[in-house]
Amino acid sequence: SQQGEEDPQALSIQEGENATMNCSYKTSINNLQWYRQNSGRGLVHLILIRSNEREKHSGRLRVTLDTSKKSSSLLITASRAADTASYFCASSTQGGSEKLVFGKGTKLTVNP
């Protein structure tokens, strides 16, 4: 069953604004990853944060992880029209499982 829940389900912003997406999960994790999907194509890996990390940056992306609340957030700063896509979190659970459990995703629209 899906253990990741994301909010909002859809987000529409103007170019230059920041976009924040949240993800919650139910069980203990090894790591949590964020992916982007353009128009129903394949997934592009954005960033991975491990369970012992609290924050990670990559370019305009900032990911936080709060294991006490079982939640993560993805912040995209200075958004661009090209950032328009669906964003998914995916968690890898403790116990050595390589399986990913995906959240429902946030559909982000960045208006020029």
Partner 1 sequence: SAVISQKPSRDICQRGTSLTIQCQVDSQVTMMFWYRQQPGQSLTLIATANQGSEATYESGFVIDKFPISRPNLTFSTLTVSNMSPEDSSIYLCSVDRRTVSTDTQYFGPGTRLTVL
- Write the binding mask 67 to 86 for partner 1: x where contact by CB under 8 A, - elsewhere: --------------------
Question: Rule CB under 8 A: is residue 30 a binding residue for partner 1?
Answer: yes
Q: Which of 20, 24, 31, 51 binds partner 1 (CB under 8 A)?
A: 31
Q: What are phi and psi of 110, to 5 degrees?
A: -110, 115
Interface with partner 1 includes 11 (CB under 8 A)? no
Number of residues that bind partner 1 (CB under 8 A): 25
Helix, strand, coil shares, percent, the chain, to 5: 5, 60, 40
Contact 94, 30 (CB under 8 A): yes
Closest CA to 105 of 92, 94, 93, 90: 90
CA dist., res. 17 & res. 54, Å (int): 24
Residue 22, interface with partner 1 (CB under 8 A)? no
- The site for partner 1 (CB under 8 A) is made up of 1-2, 4, 30-31, 33, 35, 40-45, 48, 88, 90, 92, 98-105
